[in-house]
Structure 1
Amino acid sequence: MRTWCEWTIRLLGRIGMLMLLSGIGATTVQAASLDAALLPKIQAATFEVVQAKPVNDPLTYEKPLPLDLLPYQERTDKYYSIGTAFAIGHGRYVTAGHVLMVGMNSLWGPPELRDGAGHVYPIAKIEKFSLRQDFVVFTLAQQPAGDAALEIDRTPALNQVVYAVGNALGTGVVIRDGLYTSDTPEEQDGAWKWMRFSAAASPGNSGGPLLDQDGKVIGVVLMKSANENLNYALPIRDVQDAPDGKAVIDTRTGYQIDLFDTVQNDEFKTQFALPESLGDFYRDYQTRFDANEDKQQKALLDRESANLFPNGAGSARLLHEQTTFSGFPSLIVRGSDGQWGRTDTQSRYFELDSKGYVRVGGAGHNGLVHIRRPDGLDAAKFYGDAKTRMDLLARAGLFQRSVGSEKIKITSLGKPTLEATHVDRWQRPWRIAVWPLPYANTLVATYTLPTPNGCVMLVRFVPPAGLHDTRLDFDELSSFVYLTYEGTLAQWKDFLGNPALQPAAFRNIHIDYGYGQRFSYASQRVAFSYPSSLQSIGPDNLLWLGLRFFTDGKAPTWDVGDVEVWKDTASDDHDRVNVQRFIAPPDGLDDDMTSRWKKLSERQYPYNAVASSQDDLMKIVTVIAPTAADKQPPTVLYSALYGTAGTQSQDFMKGKLDLLTKDLQVTEH
C-alpha cells in the first residue's frame, strides 16, 4: 500500500467531505472590507470546480432513499462541488493540482468550471502542471461571457491584509480576510517558499485565489496548517514562472505493504509534454504513477527478500510449528521481533439462512471475510457468480449509505464492472472482482478464494485512481493468507467436482467416500482409510484439511499438514479421527517444539496408544513413521488419533485406533 504523497492525502480528505456536502448552484460573494467596486470582477473571474453526479445507480437499497432529508440545494444540484478555480487572462485558468486529480478515473463526471449563473464549462487543454507545487493551468472548451480575469501582483508585501476567495465547504464562493503573515520553505528541499496567511480557508477553498487589498492575485490557496490557524498558498509568480508545455512530477513517495513495518521511500520524478486534453493528461499521469508503484514494490520486496516469508530465520517457527485449524483466515505478517506469525484477527459474525453465515474482520488496511455458503444456495451459482457472493455480504448489512440522519442498507451492489483471476505463489486461484459505489466515488475491490464450505475474501474500499495500487498489494498479500479448508462431506463433493476451484496442491490429493461405507484420503505424503464401523460416514461429517506452509526438504511448500473428520457439527465434543504431520525442528527453536518431537519419536504420552479423557472427550493417539530405507532417524512423523465423547474402555479405544491405522501409510521420508 502506498504511503500517499501530500496532494493525495489532501484529496482523500476532500473526498470524505464530498460524501456529505455537494455543491450549490448559486454563487454568493461575501466581502470582508474589500472595496465593493472590485467584487463584480472577482465574482466573474472565480469559479466552482464541479463534477456531475452519477445519473445511473447500480445499487439496490432496502427502501427508497429518503432524499427529502437532504437540504434542498444539495438534493437538487446536479453537481458535486470539489474546489475553486480562477481566471488569469488570455483564456487560461488556475486551480490546485489535487483538485484536478479528483477527476482521475472518477466515477463522477470530469472536473468542470461553474460560474455564478450556474453555467458549466468543460476543460479543454492542460497547459501546465506541477504535482509538487500542486497547481495546474488549463483552458476551457468554451469561454465564459466577458472573459473576466484577475490581475496579478508578483511581489506582495508581508503583513498586509489578504483575502482568501473560494468555494468554502461546497456552499458557494465566499471571501474571508486575514493577514499575509510569513513565508516558509517547502518541506522536501526548500526549493520555494509557501505563503502563510490567517484568512480562513475550508475544504473547497483549494485552488482559489489569495488576493491583496487591491483585488490582485498573489497566490493559489492550497492547504490548511495541521495544528494552527494558518493556511498555505503557492505564490502566483511560481505558477507564472513554471515552464510552459510541461507536466512536472517531482515528489517524495513511499510504498508500504501490510506484511511488515519497512517503508520503501523514493522519488516519483518524471515529466511529459503538454498541452493535452484532460483525458490524455489523466492517462499519461496514471501510466507513470502506476509504473512508479510497480518499481517501488519490487524494490521493497527485493530489499526484504532474504527475510521475506518463507525465507530467513524469522520464518523457522511458523514453518515448523504444529498445524493449526482456523475457522477464519489470517495474514502472515512479520512482527517487530523479526518473527513471522499469523495475525490474531477478531471477527464479527452475521447469520444467514440455511446454516450460512458471514464473518468479517481485518488485518492492516484490508478487510478479511469468510462466507459459509447457505445449504439452499446452488454451489455452481455461488462459485460462478460474483454478484451472488457479494449479495450475501450485503445481506449481512455491511454496506450502508448515509442520507441525512438515516443509514440505508444497500442490499445489492449489482454486477461487478471488472472480473479477472490471479494465481498466487502457492498456485491458489483467486477471483478478482470490482464494484463501483458511484455516490461515494469509491470502488469495492475483492480477491476471493473458493473453499469447500464457501469462500474467503480480501476486501478494500479504494478511490478509483487507487485500483492499481490495491491490485498490486492484493497480488502479493494473497500469498500470505493462511486458511483452513473445511466443509461437510456434502460441500466437499461440490468442491471436488470442480477442479477450477482447487489449488495446485489438490492435484496430489485424492479424497473418496461412500456414505455408510468408507472414507479414504491419499496424497504424496500419507494415505489412510477407515470403515463406517470406526466412525459413521455421512453428508454431515465435517472434513478439515489443515493446509499450511512448511519445508519439503529444503524447499518451502503449501500442503496439508493435518486431516481431521468430525462425525457431525452438533457440539464442541466431536467424535473425530485425525492424522497429523510433524517435522523434526531445527536446532535453536523453542523448547516446546523440541519437547513435542521427543515425545513423538519416543512414543511418550500422549502418543503412546493409551486412552485418556480430557473435558469429556476420550482420545487415543499413536505415532506412525515412514518406512526407512536406512537406519537414520526419521525427520517426519505422523500421529493418528481417535476421539469420542463420554467414557470408553482402553480396549474399545484401542480397537478403534487399530481400524484407523490398519491402512495408514506414510509415503514421504
Structure 2
Amino acid sequence: MVVGSAWVGTACAASLDASLLPRIQGATFEVVAAKPDKDPLTYEKPLPLELLDYQDRTDKYFSIGTAFAIGKNRYVTAGHVLMAGLDSLWGQPSLRDAKGNVYAIDKIEKFDLRRDLVVFSLVKDPAPEPLEINTSPVMNQEVYAVGNALGTGVVIRDGLYTSDTPEQEQGQWKWMRFSAAASPGNSGGPLLDKDGKVIGVVLMKSANENLNYALQMKEVLDAPEKNAVIDSRLSYRLDIFDTTLSNSFKGTFPLPQTLPDFFASYTKLFNAYVETQLKDILAKDADRVFPRGEGSDRLLYNEVWSNMLPRMIVRSNTGEWFLQSNTTKRQSLSNNGYLDVSMAQSKFVMHLRRPDNTPVANFYTDPVVLGDLLAKSGLFARTVGPEHVRITSLGKPISDTVHVDGWKRRWQVRTWTLPYDDTKIIVYCLPLPDGYAMSMVFASAGGAYDSAADLRAITDFMTVEYDGSLAQWAEFLKNTSLLPDAIKDVHLDVTYQKSLSLRTPRFNVAFTPDLLGIEPDSQLSMPLGMLPDHGKVIWGPVGLHYNPRRSESNYLVIYRNVKPPASLDESYASYWDKLINRRHPYESQAYAADGNTKIAAPKLAGDVGKDTVVYTAFFTMGGTQPQDKMKTQLDLLLKGLQVNEH
C-alpha cells in the first residue's frame, strides 16, 4: 500500500484494520534532503535527464529514510538516517508528509549511535495524531514494516516477528528480527503490531536472508534525554601496512541541541577520534615504522628512488618496507600533456605532465586550471540512466590549503565536489618541474575528514622523481613558495649551448656541450629520496639523470651510494666492495649494454678507507663506441662532479 496515493489493498494488509490506516499515514514521514540548487560542474553535453524516471527528474528532494511521530512534536528515526545529513552536500535532512509538505528539524532530544536511534522535534510541527506504542510485543505475531521503500513513497508490508537476537558486542539489549520485507528506505520507519501500535524502529536489512532488524521501542523510551550517547566499535587502518586498530568511538555531549549544533558537536568528537586513531596506529610498533627499524634498511640502501609516477612506501607481511608498484594507465592531453594514473590500495596516485600551452603562473596557483585538466583526462563522468556523460570542468574547489609533510614537502590540498552524488574529491598535489605528483580519493561528504586524514598521513610515505626540461626547471625554481627545503638548496645555472651547473648541499656537477648538448628541452631528472645520513634519515637529492633530448641514447647518470649496515645480506657488502675497489662495471672501462655503450666510475670526497658515501658516474652513448672516446667523456663528467660529503 502506498501512503499518499491510492491505497491498493492486499491480502496481507487487509488484516490491518482499515480504520488505522489514516493514523499510520499521518504519523509516518519520508526523511528527505534537498537537491542542490546549483551544479558547479560542466559537462560535455546537456544532461539527458529525460532518461530518468519522472519522479527522479522532477522531485526536488532526495529520499533517504523514514521517520514517525510518537508524541506531541516528538519524532523518531534511525540514527544513521539522521547522520546521512552530516556535512552533506544535500543540506540537512527534513521530513516530508504524504501531501509533499516539508518540515525542518528543530532540536535533537535523544541520540544513541550504538542503538541507532534519534528522537527530535520539528521547527513547525504538523501535529499528526501520533502512533500508539507497545513495549511488550508478542513473538510470532504478524507485524507490519512501514517505510519509504527505495524512495518511492511510504508503503506497508507484512511478515512475522520471528525472534530476538543479542546485540553483537556485549549483548546489552536484543534486536527484534522480523520477516516483513524491508528496503534501504525503510530505515527509521515504524514496525507495527496487528493493532497498529509501534513496537520497534526498522534499522537494518539482513544481508543474507529476509530476516530484518528493528530496535524495540522500550529502548527508545528508556534512552537518556540529556546526553547524546556515542559508543560504536570501529576499525582503523592505513594503506601502508596491515596493522588494524579495533577501538570504540565513545563520547557524550549535552542535549537538546539544534540540528546544526548537534552536527558540530558530533563532528568535533569524531574528528578528534580520527586524529587519535591516526596517531596511535603510527605509534604502534613505532620502532618498525619507516624509516626506522631493520625492515627499512633494504629500501634505504638501494637505488630505488627513480620513479616518475608517485609510489607508496608500504610494509610487507614480513616487515620489509618497499616501493609499491602498480599498473599505470596514461590519459593523453593536448600539447604534450598527459596524466598517468595508477591505484595504490584504495587511493589513486597520478603524475600530471603540464601541457605546453598552460602558463606556469596559472598552473600552480589557480586550482580551477588543475581541476579542468583532471576532468579533460576523462577521469570523471556522471551516469544518467544508461548514459555516462563526461565532466569537463570541476569548477572552483571548496577548499584550497597547503600541507607540509614530515619531509618538508609542500602539498597543495584541493577539494572539489560532486553534488549529485554527495561526494567529495580530495587531491593532494605536490608541485614538480613538469607538473604535479598527486594522490586522490573519492569520499562520501560525511566521511571526507577521515579520508583526508589518511591522505595527509600517507604523504610521509610517498616518493617521486623531480623531472622536467631545463626550461621547466628554470620556471619551477622561481616559485619559491612551492619548493620544499631540499629543493630550495638546489641552484641551477644554465646558459643554453654553453654551460650547465647544478649545485646541491651534497654534490655539484658542471659541464659544457663538449659532454652533452644543453638546450631548453634537454631533460634533467633529479631523484629525491630518503637518505641515510650518519645515523639519521633525511629527504633530498640522491643524484641526477640528464639527457639532451628524451629520444637520444646519449645521457649521464649520477647516483649516491651509502655504505650498508652489517645487518643487510652479503649482496649489499659485495656491491659496496665493487664501488670502492673499482671493479666491473666501475673500472672506467667501456662495455656494451642494450645496444648502447656504457662506462662508469666511482667518485669520492676523500679517502676510500674513510668515506661512507660514494657517488657513481655513468655515461652512455648509442651504438658501439671505442674505449678512448668513452673514457674522454667519462673524464669530462668526473672533472665536473664534486662530492661534498663523506
TM-score bucket (shorter structure): over 0.9
1:600 is the counterpart of 2:579: yes
Aligned to 2:49: 67
Runs (4+) of structure 1 exceeding 6 A deviation are none
1:637 is the counterpart of 2:614: yes
Secondary structure class of the residue paired with 1:390? helix
Contact 2:411 2:428 in 1 (8 A): yes
CA distance in 1, matches of 2:274, 2:341: 29
Contact 2:328 2:341 in 1 (8 A): yes
TM-fit CA distance, 1:27: 5.4
1:347 is the counterpart of 2:324: no
TM-fit CA distance, 1:35: 2.1
Aligned to 2:452: 471
Contact 1:128 1:137 in 2 (8 A): yes
Aligned to 1:96: 78
**Deviation by residue 1:205-250 (Cα, 9 ceiling, x = unmatched):** 0000001111110100000122222100000111001111221111
TM-fit CA distance, 1:28: 6.2
TM-fit CA distance, 1:612: 0.9
CA distance in 1, matches of 2:157, 2:3: 20
- Which 10-residue stretch deviates more, 321-330 or 77-86? 321-330
TM-fit CA distance, 1:142: 1.3
Contact 2:294 2:567 in 1 (8 A): no
Aligned to 1:57: 39
Aligned to 1:20: none
1:489 to 436, 452, 470: 470
2:20 to 16, 38, 41: 38
1:136 is the counterpart of 2:136: no
Secondary structure class of the residue paired with 1:532? coil
CA distance in 2, matches of 1:376, 1:293: 42
1:107 to 71, 89, 94: 89
TM-fit CA distance, 1:644: 1.0
TM-score normalised according to structure 2 size: 0.97
Flag the 1:25–1:217 CA change in 2: closer, same or farther, 3 A.
closer
Contact 2:548 2:554 in 1 (8 A): yes
TM-fit CA distance, 1:62: 0.5
Contact 1:526 1:665 in 2 (8 A): yes
Secondary structure class of the residue paired with 1:662? helix
Q: 1:140-151 counterparts in 2 under 5 A?
A: 140-144=122-126, 147-151=128-132
Flag the 1:27–1:607 CA change in 2: closer, same or farther, 3 A.
farther
CA distance in 1, matches of 2:4, 2:576: 77
Aligned to 2:402: 421
Q: 1:183-262 counterparts in 2 under 5 A?
A: 183-262=164-243
Contact 1:545 1:562 in 2 (8 A): yes
Flag the 1:565–1:587 CA change in 2: closer, same or farther, 3 A.
same
Which 5+ residue runs of structure 2 have no aligned equivalent? none
Contact 1:29 1:175 in 2 (8 A): no
Contact 1:25 1:77 in 2 (8 A): no
State the one-letter code of the partner of 1:69: L
**Deviation by residue 1:62-119 (Cα, 9 ceiling, x = unmatched):** 0111111111111000100000001111221100000000111111121111111111
Aligned to 1:296: 277
1:661 is the counterpart of 2:641: no
2:565 to 586, 589, 597: 586
CA distance in 2, matches of 1:470, 1:304: 23
1:84 is the counterpart of 2:61: no
CA distance in 1, matches of 2:624, 2:500: 25
Q: 1:246-285 counterparts in 2 under 5 A?
A: 246-285=227-266
State the one-letter code of the partner of 1:638: Y
Contact 1:29 1:43 in 2 (8 A): no
1:623 to 593, 602, 609: 602
- Which 10-residue stretch deviates more, 270-279 or 24-33? 24-33
Q: 1:239-638 counterparts in 2 under 5 A?
A: 239-570=220-551, 574-628=553-607, 632-638=609-615
Question: Percent same amino acid among aligned pairs?
Answer: 49
Contact 2:113 2:229 in 1 (8 A): yes
1:163 to 137, 144, 152: 144
TM-fit CA distance, 1:634: 2.0
Flag the 1:25–1:221 CA change in 2: closer, same or farther, 3 A.
closer
1:120 to 68, 82, 102: 102
Which 5+ residue runs of structure 1 have no aligned equivalent? 1-23
1:648 is the counterpart of 2:630: no
Contact 1:621 1:640 in 2 (8 A): yes
TM-fit CA distance, 1:332: 0.5
TM-fit CA distance, 1:121: 0.8
Secondary structure class of the residue paired with 1:190? coil
Contact 1:210 1:218 in 2 (8 A): yes
TM-fit CA distance, 1:150: 0.7
Flag the 1:632–1:257 CA change in 2: closer, same or farther, 3 A.
same
Instruction: Figure out how many residues of one structure are paired with residues of the other and give that number.
Output: 641
State the one-letter code of the partner of 1:476: A
TM-fit CA distance, 1:25: 10
Contact 1:387 1:416 in 2 (8 A): yes
- Which 10-residue stretch deviates more, 190-199 or 346-355? 346-355
CA distance in 2, matches of 1:244, 1:90: 16
CA distance in 1, matches of 2:141, 2:566: 73
CA distance in 2, matches of 1:436, 1:662: 54
